[in-house]
Amino acid sequence: MIETIYSEDNHNLLMDRAYEDDQTRAFGKKQGFNVVVPPKKNRREPWDYDKELYKQRNEVERYFLRLKRFRKVFTRYDKLDTIFLSVIMLAMIFDVLFM
C-alpha cells in the first residue's frame, strides 16, 4: 500500500473535497505534488482524478480514528513530545496485536 501512495519520482497530495479550490490545487502543483482531489458536484468543468488513490486517503483517516480510541493519545496530557510519541507507538502496537 505504501508503494502506491509514495514513490521516489511521484509525490501525491491527497485532499478532501472541501479543499478543492483552484488556488490550493495550483499551489500543490507548484510545490511538485500530484494533487488528488475530487471536484465538487456543482463544478462546471470537473477534472479527472485517481479514484483508487483517493480511496486510500480514507484508510489513513480511519487509522487515525482507531488511534484516537486510546484515551492517552486523544487527550494528550503528556508535556514532552518524546513521551507522547512513545504513547502513539505503543497504541500502534496494541492496534496491530489486539484489534
> Are 36 and 49 within 8 A, CB to CB?
yes
**pTM for this entry:** 0.59
Output the pLDDT for position 6: 54
Residue 16 pLDDT class (50, 70, 90 cuts)? confident
**Phi and psi of 8, rounded to 5°?**
-65, -35
Residue 71 pLDDT class (50, 70, 90 cuts)? confident
Closest by CA to 34, choosing from 66, 5, 11, is: 11
Output the pLDDT for position 4: 47
